[in-house]
Structure 1
């Protein structure tokens, strides 16, 4: 450690987490537009074979690191430690732009306990970084059902120092009572964390950052237990062990596209421009038939009618957000890329449907013609 680094003190490290589709990247873009976060390094973790989130994060004054090794509760933990070590080494050497804060945006499937344990106990990281709060993003529309179905979401809420509620502006008279139940449930899971509504302008950089050193006091007892469990696993040298029910063939080597035997990540791509009519049909049929199994869908599409202005798509289960046309391509890759994270939905089923609607040769002509005549014939998988 250099003398200047010692004088500067530990670098604040904020963890931004929240389940798939909660709105982490949207909130992150809003936060990074605040001058107070100008000198921030962002580390983005993505679950799956092709990373796209970094394309949707707008220009940052500083650097951005993309960790694409997969599930942050498992394989990316070592990569995160290495990335944090590398950052301070380059900062000390003056080979990167000076930064004053690091923000880690986790994948939506992340169990935050191993991340916290690594940052709290690593003998070198604790001298260079100080956890300055865990911010958890919760979807006002789907949050209650997500807590019912996914243990990761419960942990993300329980460890939070701040909870940012998104999409409350989309509530209706029919969904508002469940939102009230969601807020009450969040209070039970984490009595001390403030609930801040992003749509109301409450989830600002000032409100979310600067929570101070991470403490288990004020949180439910499970949080301390989870951290003790991770410490025990570290002592046993079992860095990849965790609660999730990986099937037997995953025990020797973890598949980065598999979080458990029911959750899969995959990417559909094509070099051909996609007609808007075909895209509309695909994006209408798939959520209507299998929305509950679509944990997350996001992508960038080369639309035939406007090849210089790609369309960005975001969807969570049955909810498909209105497509947004970008003014230009964010990088040199002009392929259409759609990333899916599904539960109990076979990749081959989605791929066959995609091939049929886009005219990709991977599906034979009779099947394509039959599907176009009767799209519901593929309602299985």
Structure 2
């Protein structure tokens, strides 16, 4: 597991009720050609753990948490279960390569990420690899209209699986994908029939970050329930000062963390390869240093998905900070001469 520096990767699968999360996980577990060994944590809101039993037929290392939604009031259950899995793996009792966490349809995935990344033991032994969101092609527009939580689930997704495409029209699928891209322009869209997907959907392909094609512009979602969600992207042709950029980003997240739904970027900081930046709200994943540029273009790209933040102010803040930094560096270089 060198790819994860010895840590256990975690995949979070989220999406509205009935969008196909359980079916997809079950099909992945049943795929005999996949080499990773999974441990699955199912968060079932309520007293009847039906989803848990469906998955258990395919995979015995399945744990049910039904004391409430782990995205809000029962994160202690998640912490303890992840620790228990670690102890079982280290003792050789039940080994696994990856953890899949299936959330309830009501879940905000951000607190789940925070639970793992804020606990000293868990953050040293686990790494959030990928967030997958499922959405029903036939009923997706209804969910977008009636279920505000889907906007958060889509905003934080690395990959969005559009399910049940066999029973939806081309127009329905096209309109839904347009809405998804309006919320999260950098997510990877995957289509599924009967829950069938490439098992590698649970893994984030770090050699294909998928943001360099995004233009520097605002993309505002027009749905009346999400008109406060916007995205803005930036491109820098010159290397960024990593320390200074980190300072600016830290100040931004400290002031507006709850409104920064997603941060994603490939940053040129003067090294051989870029730094991969990935964050949800005030939670920034440990930056990854790549050995090469995935698409051969040494240009920094960064995108923010925001809620109730003026994109003009954000842009002015970033460029003013960068301009101030360039002036300071020039002055210091002059002093050295």
Q: Is the 8 A contact 2:165 2:193 kept in 1?
A: yes
How many Å apart are 1:155 and its aligned residue? 0.7
Q: Is the 8 A contact 2:10 2:98 kept in 1?
A: yes
Aligned to 2:247: none
Structure 2 CA distance for partners of 1:104 and 1:207, relative to 1, 3 Å: closer
**TM-superposition CA deviations, 1:348-379 (whole Å, max 9, x none):** xxxxxxxxxxxxxxxxxxxxxxxxxxxxxxxx
CA RMSD, 1 decimal: 3.2
How many Å apart are 1:119 and its aligned residue? 1.9
Q: Measure, in 2, the Cα distance between the counterparts of 1:8 and 1:179.
A: 39
Number of residue pairs matched by the alignment: 222
Q: Is the 8 A contact 1:164 1:198 kept in 2?
A: yes
Q: Measure, in 1, the Cα distance between the counterparts of 2:9 and 2:262.
A: 21
Aligned to 1:190: 184
**TM-superposition CA deviations, 1:222-281 (whole Å, max 9, x none):** 235963299xxxxxxxxxxxxxxxxxxxxxxxxxxxxxxxxxxxxxxxxxxxxxxxxxxx
* Unmatched segments (≥5 aa) in structure 2: 215-229, 232-259, 264-278, 285-337
Q: Is the 8 A contact 1:114 1:227 kept in 2?
A: no
What is the TM-score normalised by the length of structure 1?
0.53
Q: Measure, in 2, the Cα distance between the counterparts of 1:113 and 1:53.
A: 22
What is the TM-score normalised by the length of structure 2?
0.59
How many Å apart are 1:56 and its aligned residue? 1.2
Q: Measure, in 1, the Cα distance between the counterparts of 2:52 and 2:60.
A: 14
Larger mean Cα displacement after TM superposition, 59-68 or 153-162: 59-68
How many Å apart are 1:145 and its aligned residue? 1.6
Confirm or deny that 1:223 pairs with 2:262: yes
Q: Is the 8 A contact 1:14 1:133 kept in 2?
A: yes
How many Å apart are 1:211 and its aligned residue? 4.1
Aligned to 2:82: 84
Confirm or deny that 1:137 pairs with 2:134: yes
Q: Is the 8 A contact 1:38 1:62 kept in 2?
A: no
Structure 2 CA distance for partners of 1:21 and 1:201, relative to 1, 3 Å: closer
Structure 2 CA distance for partners of 1:37 and 1:193, relative to 1, 3 Å: farther
Q: Measure, in 1, the Cα distance between the counterparts of 2:152 and 2:206.
A: 20
How many Å apart are 1:137 and its aligned residue? 0.6
Aligned to 2:10: 13
How many Å apart are 1:208 and its aligned residue? 3.8
Aligned to 1:41: 39
Q: Is the 8 A contact 1:38 1:60 kept in 2?
A: no
Larger mean Cα displacement after TM superposition, 68-77 or 23-32: 68-77
* Unmatched segments (≥5 aa) in structure 1: 231-381
**TM-superposition CA deviations, 1:158-196 (whole Å, max 9, x none):** 111111110110114xxx423321100111111111111
